[in-house]
Structure 1
Amino acid sequence: MQIAVWSIVPEIINEVKYSDALVPILNYTFNEIRNSIHCFHKYSPELQDSMFDFLYNSLMCINQVESSDFMRRIDICKFVLNEIRLKNNKNGYCERDCYLRLLGKSYVTLASLNKYEEVINLECTNDVYNSFCDYLWIANLDGDFRKSVFEIMKNLFLVCYKREEYQYVQIQWWTTVLQLLLNNNSKVRYETFLLVDHLPVHCTAIDCSHLNLLLSKFFQCNIRNTHPECMCIALFYWSIALLDNIDYEMDDTDVFNKCTNYDFFEPVEVSRICAEFLIENMKPYMDIILPDETIDWINSLLNVEFQKSISFRTLVRNYESYVPIFENKLHDILNPTYKNKLLQILSYEQYKDIKCTYNTST
């Protein structure tokens, strides 16, 4: 019964035409949820999701012209980020679609105001991006729901792309978009391309392929940062570590789509494109000493132990010790990990021109 009630409330709100009637309804229903936060762990997942959907729909329908409505939006966002978010592990909703959409919407709504840093600190930002920027849950959403999530993804980009302190969440955002661009669902790929294409970043990419467009916009967003050399690490990570997650298959639409090149989505081809882009655009930065925090970041992602105070070129050479060795014997081929290891070897080979070339200017 409670689930049905919470599901109907947004429909009632959408029918209300006047703010003097809308505000009391929103105030009452929001206060009911806020006052029950201590009981959330007792509610069924279905009831929790109904409440999350109500809060999301409230943020979508409130008229920002009215000051009281505007403040209610702020109250909802603070409640989500300060209370619901901090209780998510205890209540088990941290990976559910309705919660993640509400979390992202609350964050971008509050962040767009640029005056609530006591709520949106770096810890909150990292947590939101870590939770929301997950290509698996986004790719598996239904069409209308996914459309609303892509809109939030666009706003997450607008929030962070000019702030250097958000450098690593920016890379996480781009990584998620790259994975969505390589998804085996043609609709997901197309929606992701539209997301990238509409980003307010000017680039002069000659090759108009989807991946090169993404790489070009990523480059333009970061080239003026204090540490542009960190882009080398991101491109290397995309080449080496994302291969296990790429499992492209043609669907019915691709059979007749001359614009779709199946080979483009082959894992090694993706690695080759990233490596070529890096070599063509990042040569001035390959021998700059990388920041310690960047080394810590890539060590964590790749589960390796690179030493500090090294350049990207040195890092590439050192990574060779982590690349598997094959003797091309039967026991290698029969090994269940053969495919992944082979991809790792072939991908690393794309960087042979970097690891074998030394900077002659120093």
Structure 2
Amino acid sequence: MLEQQQATILIVDDAPSNIELLSNILRNDGHRVIAAAKGEIALRIAKGVNKPDLILLDVLMPDMDGHEVCRRLKANPHTMNIPIIFATSRNEEEDEQVGFALGAVDYMTKPFRPAVVSARVNTHLHLHYQTRHLQSLVDAKTTEVKNTQFKIIQKLGRAAEFKDNETGEHVIRMSWFARLLAEKNNMDPHFCELLFQAAPMHDIGKIGIPDKILQKPGKLDADEWEIMKKHAVFGADIIGDSKTPLLKLAREIALNHHEKWDGSGYPSGKAGEEIPVSARIIAIADVFDALTSERPYKRAWSEESAIELLQNEAGKHFDPNLVPKFIECLPEIRQIQKKHAEPKS
């Protein structure tokens, strides 16, 4: 059972006598009361940092009537969940219908009776707190599921990298690099988060490549290279045709991150903006981290050498519009490299 708490209630009415009457009733119940005589003022208060827990709203007001105030409050994501009770002299049935249609939770008519006002306000506050509490539980569980999903994806990505003589830190670093580049490119925040979570799956298809090819110390011959290139398609097949946004993006990346801007990549030879932007971002993040990381078969490139390669390959391997943006991210990239450095042997 949720305990009753002090609420902040906004009274919107152009009549001082109504404000005084309602304020006295609500303060006697222990609530904090703020008031506005105009709709514009009410909207500013409701959008503020300390938004009210409930609004008592008159209909007949100058400049902007209560109906319009209610419409605007319900259209704004920041205020749409605040319970609104119309408190007005308009008592026709059609008036009530309009009020409820606009999203109000209740409708009270003048003259106001203290017991009725108190009961209705406290009932809707309690329902509001219950709803908010239940939503917090749902949000917490959703976050837990997302975190679990992300950890599973990271571990699957690490499995593919371990098979290819990589370390698990590679998928973490390149995922952060990709997110930074997406943010620098002014991508939607939701997309940036999905990209970050999907990135570790980019090379999952390497699980399907024979070890004798994947771990061959020397250069692959033509036949071996054709098999190696199949890992992009294998990755897409492993992830499957899920309708889940995260897995759809992971499949898109796995299939396309070896395509090249000039059309010389694989598996489909896509070029330019035919290549999904997710894969174009991953290509830069993946190659940069691979170059600047030490492996048993190679020394780490310097940052300067790796950046020089990106610049030389802009318009050939890489999206020429993304390479400069990646370079702008270098201060943050260095911090990620430091935080997720290769484990010391």
Quickly name the TM-score band, shorter chain normalised: under 0.3
TM-score, length-scaled by structure 2? 0.28
Which has the higher Rg, Structure 1 or Structure 2? Answer: 2
Considering fraction of residues, name the structure with more helix: 1
Considering fraction of residues, name the structure with more strand: 2
TM-score, length-scaled by structure 1? 0.27
